[in-house]
Amino acid sequence: GQNIDQPTEMTATEGAIVQINCTYQTSGFNGLFWYQQHAGEAPTFLSYNVLDGLEEKGRFSSFLSRSKGYSYLLLKELQMKDSASYLCAVTTVSGGYNKLIFGAGTRLAVHP
Amino acid sequence: DADVTQTPRNRITKTGKRIMLECSQTKGHDRMYWYRQDPGLGLRLIYYSFDVKDINKGEISDGYSVSRQAQAKFSLSLESAIPNQTALYFCATSRPTGTPIGEFFGPGTRLTVL
C-alpha cells in the first residue's frame, strides 16, 4: 500500500532551524514534493526532489534518500510567517500518469 | 489575477441538496484535479481529468461527480450532500508531461453540510 508519515505538530523559535521529516512507502516512486499551506489557504509549492541529495532554495532546503524512503525539509532563520502546515507529497506512477499522494501535514508553530 | 479560481469560496447547505463547485484556470494546463482536505487526513483525490474527454475517479469518488466543460473549466457536483462531505475542497492543475512540476492549487471552497 501507499503510506506517508510526518509528525503532526512541531514548535520552534524565531531565528532557529527546524527539520521536518517525512517517510514514505509507495510503489512507482517518481519524486517528492514539499508544499507550504497557511491555515485556510491553498498549498503552495516549496520544493521537488527526484534524485538523492539536498536541494537548497534560500532559507529552505529539502533532502531525499530514495533507498530509505525518507525526506526532510529544513527551514533556516525561522520567521513568524513560517508558521504553517508543511505537506509532504510523493509522486507515484499509476496507470501511466504521475499521481500525487499527500501526507497529513506537519503543523509548525514559530514563536518569538 | 489568480491562475486558478474557485467559486463559491464558502457554502453552507443542507443535507440532501445538490451542490456544484466550479473551478476555472488560466494556466493553459491540460490536467485538472479535485481534492478534499479534512483535518488530520491531508489532501485526498476525488476526481482528475487529463483533458476534456478524459475523466478518472480518484480514491474517494463516491458521492461526487464531475464535468470538464472545457480545457479551462472543471466542476465538482455533490448530487445529494451529506454532513460527512463537510470539508475544504481544492481544485488543482498541472502540466501533462515531462518532469512533474507539482500541482497548482486554487484558493479552496469551504463547504459545510448541515
Distance from CA of A42 to the nearest CA of B (A): 5
The percentage of residues in chain B with a pLDDT greater than 70, rounded to a whole number, is 92
Neighboring chain A residues of B43 at a CB cutoff of 8 Å: 43, 87, 89, 102
Tell me which of B104 and A81 has the higher pLDDT: A81
Q: DSSP secondary-structure letter at B27?
A: S
Q: What is the residue-averaged pLDDT of chain B?
A: 91
Residue among A92, A79, A74, A76 nearest A34 (CA): A74
Task: Spell out the long-range contacts of A61-70 with Cβ–Cβ below 8 A and sequence spacing 24 or more.
Answer: A62/A32, A62/A34, A64/A32, A66/A29, A68/A23, A69/A23, A69/A24, A69/A25, A69/A26, A70/A21, A70/A22, A70/A23, A70/A24
Report whether A71 contacts A48 (CB < 8 A). Answer: no
CB–CB of A8 and B40 under 8 A? yes
Chain B residues touching A102 at Cβ < 8 A: 42-44
Q: Is the pLDDT of residue B104 over 90?
A: no
Strand partners, B6: B23
Q: What is the pLDDT of residues B15-35, one digit of tens each?
A: 999 999 999 999 888 889 999
User: For A22-70, what is each residue's pLDDT tens digit?
Assistant: 999 988 888 999 999 999 899 999 999 999 999 998 999 999 999 999 9
Average pLDDT of chain A, as a whole number: 92
Inform me whether the pLDDT recorded for B102 exceeds 80: no
Bigger pLDDT: B93 vs B101: B93
Reported as a single tens digit per residue, the pLDDT across B36-56 is: 999 888 899 999 998 899 999
Report the pLDDT value the prediction gives residue A79, as an integer from 0 to 100.
Answer: 97
Cβ-nearest to B100 among A30, A41, A95: A30
Flag if A104 and B50 touch (Cβ within 8 Å). no
The alpha-carbon gap from A27 to the nearest alpha carbon of chain B, in Å, equals 16
CA A14 to chain centre: 20
Distance of CA A97 to the CA centre of its chain: 21
Residues of A in contact with B42 (CB under 8 A): 4, 87, 102-105
